[in-house]
Structure 1
Amino acid sequence: MVRPSLSVRAMRALGLILLCAMASHAMADDVSEERNVLLGAGVERMPAWIGSSEHRDQAVPYIQAELPWHVTLSTLDGLTVDVIHGSQWHGGFYGNYQWGRDHDELGPQLSGIVPSLSPRLNAGGYLEYQATVQLNLGATLSHDTQGAGAYLNIYADYDLPVIGYLEHSVQLQWQGMNGPAMRRYFGLTPQQATQLGVAPWAPGAGSQQISLEYDAYMPTSLHTGFALAINYARLLGDAADSPLVKTFGTPNQLTTTLAFVYRL
């Protein structure tokens, strides 16, 4: 997936993110809250498609921003607007961008048989509880804005002790999908299954994956540094049992991101 410039999908994602950022900055013109913003670019190594055993490298934008009006914006975790903003409880609007898959990423075995999927914007809500200074527990519930599925994520974030200048954390997350989302990514019609020589697959709602992520930031100066994210996911249930995964892929999914960033 190494490419000299941002892919069309990454550019679309960046466009959506920047629109949200500009809107949040516009709302905050008369607000004196301090901003904490990291901007940069890097390379993400990710499965060619969800369930694939092959990987691709792709140039991606990197944004981690805490903005006024209780808005957070992240190319890794999406957009949140906290309307509760209590001392421990937080919740409100949630949005994120979900990668699809194209014919090149499906490879010669699947391309032309398994459909490509356009990237989508998901929108919904979130609820989070700050159990301790280091530990956050939360959930997000979102729906494809074009009507192709719903997603539930339950997570726990823990900030690890700082090592020198290194700031780092871990996150454990479970994700579930409804039937349309499962079938979009893991289903096979009888015609597709016949062409591939496997059984048809029409998964229902349920667990899709569990993942563990490590995030780190190492400053190189007052305003610059490197950001790293390593995410290991294990597909579950009907997702892992899909012939797409069992025959042509793997339930073990590893994604890594490395970016050089500037702190505003």
Structure 2
Amino acid sequence: MSVARPRLLFALLCLSLPPCALADSDNVSTLAVGAGMQHMPGWVGARTHRSDPVPFVDIELPQYGFSLSTEDGLQYDLVRGAHLHGGLYGGFQWGRDHDDLGTLAGKVPTLAPRATGGGFLEWDFDRQLDAGMRLSHDVNGAGAYLEFYAGWNPPRLGLMEQSLELRWQSMNGAAMRRFFGLKPASAQALGVPVWQPGAGSELATLEYDLFLPTGKHTGLAASLEYGYVLGHAAASPLVRRYGSRSQLTESLAFVYHF
């Protein structure tokens, strides 16, 4: 979850598992690594894009309730019910650097990346459908983030696994002002009004993933994500005048599963 979700959005856990492991994924430990490319907005709300090489890591130890992935961050399941799960959550908020800002560089402040910590709750309806929420707080500042999500794994298309996830993200006022606010100096440099928004919705996202096995331990993972900036974030002059509410991200990666 994030104002700029980690630039690692190309796979879900189920997509990194070979078909034999999917049959009993509740009891199977997972170690998967990979690398690929991702084409994404320079910052959330930007109309410009950039392409970056991205790593992929997915470690699942269900017997200990532990998972670490570049998709879902760090989770430690303290509940471990048949359907209900919940516990500690750790994530990462990417910021924006000089190159990300492009023509806005020098007028809008850059933002350092920050770690976040909090908790999660998830309900697994069955092996194909789940829904949950994550609540986290910036460990170095006042920003707080809330995300609701629902995921569905449709039937396979031949050898191809597929997954669909819908997410809604919101921020408290401090986080909203950090990413989308404009202080007097920046507003004057851009020739727009000062913007100091409050808490509210930030982004709604629909993500579709595909995984095609290429061998017993290898495969190709592709992802297409469409996001739409909401609320005070969409009303920011950064998005209204210099960006776009529509956010498209595409990823392709090679994954090795041990």
TM-score bracket, shorter-length normalisation: 0.7 to 0.9
Q: What is the distance in 2 between the residues matched to 1:74 and 1:219?
A: 20
Q: What is the distance in 1 between the residues matched to 2:185 and 2:48?
A: 25
Tell me if 1:156 matches 2:150: yes
SS in structure 2 opposite 1:238? helix
Aligned to 1:6: none
Q: What is the distance in 1 between the residues matched to 2:74 and 2:127?
A: 22
CA drift of 1:227 comes to 1.2
Once the two structures are overlaid, the 10-residue window that deviates more, 203-212 or 34-43, is 34-43
Aligned to 1:141: 135
Q: What is the distance in 2 between the residues matched to 1:138 and 1:169?
A: 16
Length-normalised TM-score, structure 1 = 0.85
SS in structure 2 opposite 1:129? strand
Aligned to 1:76: 71
Larger relative contact order (Cα-Cα within 8 Å, sequence gap ≥ 6): 2
Unmatched runs of 5 consecutive residues or more in structure 2: 1-5, 9-26
- Percent of counterpart pairs with the same letter? 50
For 2:139, give the aligned amino acid: T
CA drift of 1:132 comes to 2.5
For 1:212, give the aligned amino acid: L
Q: What is the distance in 2 between the residues matched to 1:255 and 1:72?
A: 25
For 2:203, give the aligned amino acid: Q
Aligned length: 234
For 1:256, give the aligned amino acid: E
Unmatched runs of 5 consecutive residues or more in structure 1: 1-8, 14-32
What's the Cα RMSD here? 1.5
For 1:194, give the aligned amino acid: Q
Q: Is the 8 A contact 1:148 1:184 kept in 2?
A: no
Tell me if 1:90 matches 2:85: yes
Aligned to 2:58: 64
Q: Displaced runs of 4+ in structure 1, greater than 6 A? A: none
- Summarize the alignment of residues 3-22 of structure 1 with structure 2, pairs less than 5 Å apart: none
Aligned to 2:203: 209
Aligned to 2:101: 106
- Summarize the alignment of residues 1-264 of structure 1 with structure 2, pairs less than 5 Å apart: 34-67=28-61, 68-108=63-103, 110-264=104-258
Q: Is the 8 A contact 1:232 1:253 kept in 2?
A: yes
Q: What is the distance in 1 between the residues matched to 2:88 and 2:118?
A: 6
Aligned to 1:25: none
SS in structure 2 opposite 1:181? helix
CA-to-partner distance for each residue in 1:106-160, whole Å, 9 max, x for gaps? 012x111100011111111000001232110100000111014000000101111
SS in structure 2 opposite 1:248? coil
Length-normalised TM-score, structure 2 = 0.87
Q: What is the distance in 2 between the residues matched to 1:236 and 1:192?
A: 22
CA-to-partner distance for each residue in 1:79-121, whole Å, 9 max, x for gaps? 111110010000101111121100111012x111100011111
